[in-house]
Structure 1
Amino acid sequence: MKTIRIAAALLIGPDARTLLVRKRGTQAFMQPGGKIDAGESAVQALARELNEELGLVIATEDAGFLGEFSAVAANEPGHEVNCQLYRVQVEQDVVPAAEIEEIVWVDAGDVGHLKLAPLTRDAILPLYRTLQTA
């Protein structure tokens, strides 16, 4: 199985909900972020992707590293994603751009109606719930 290296954000809004995105032509919601380019650090990739996908400008030092997680890729059969996950607090509005078709803010319990990427469902949202109750 091939591995795709990505950086993703557990993006937390002013009301403590987290943002999930769905890329155009796909079904599964996931954290915003994307592939890490050659010569780029994970946090640099995250800042670039958040800007491209949501119009967010973040300072890389404001992204808190939460850990490394892996799961079967949602949109690329035969691939696994290896994710460097960062917590990012945002105050400004986000606007879907580039390949993002839909965004949704969710709280720790309100996701039963959404189709979720395996990494989001099995690793990131459980971590988010733990952080919310901590």
Structure 2
Amino acid sequence: MPDVLTLSALVIRDDSNRLLLVRKRGTSKFMQPGGKLEPGESFAAAAVRELEEELGIRVHESELLDLGRWYGPAANEAATYIDAGLFACSIGQDPVPAAEIEEILWLSLEDAGGRDDLAPLLTDHVIPLITGGAGAAMAG
């Protein structure tokens, strides 16, 4: 049976509808900001904490829009799956890479096709969800 990581991820878009993605140090895939839940932590609390730790952006749990859950393959760990709580929010400041974040990318949805450096959560669920494409149904 594969390992399962429980985490939160954030869907953040700018005024040009580009997605904010991060690449963590020592990895090759871009993904939404977020990370693993600490013991006893809710998905929403983890999203708020991770956004501040990774990008220096403070939001309140009440500012998060719950987009549901997704279960699927992890981006950077072989034989590992993720159980992800997914949230959308707006940010009022520029993200600054911190903690384990090596690189930030603002990705235009038109440029997403054909890239091999995007996490499965992004390609298999987030992009179809926000564009209304196939597979857009949220797991609950």
| TM-score normalised to structure 2 length | 0.88
CA distance in 1 between partners of 2:127 and 2:102 (Å): 21
Flag the structure with higher strand content: 1
Q: CA contact under 8 A between 1:17 and 1:106: conserved in structure 2?
A: yes
The letter of the residue matching 2:63 is D
Alignment of 1:18 with 2:15, yes or no, is no
Identity %: 43
Report whether the alignment pairs 1:86 with 2:106: no
More deviation in 110-119 or 52-61? Answer: 110-119
Q: Could you tell me which residue of structure 2 aligns to residue 96 of structure 1?
A: 97
* Comparing 8-17 and 56-65, the one that deviates more: 8-17
Give the equivalent residue in structure 2 for 1:130.
Answer: 132
Equivalent AA in structure 2 for residue 123 of structure 1: H
Aligned residue runs from structure 1 range 3-42, under 5 A:
3-42=4-43
Within-5 A mapping of 1:63-78: 63-78=64-79
5+ residue gaps, structure 2, are 134-140
Question: What is the aligned-residue RMSD (CA, Å)?
Answer: 1.4
Aligned length: 131
1:60 aligns with 2:52: no
Bigger shift: residues 63-72 or 12-21: 12-21
Task: Report deviation, 1:113.
Answer: 4.0
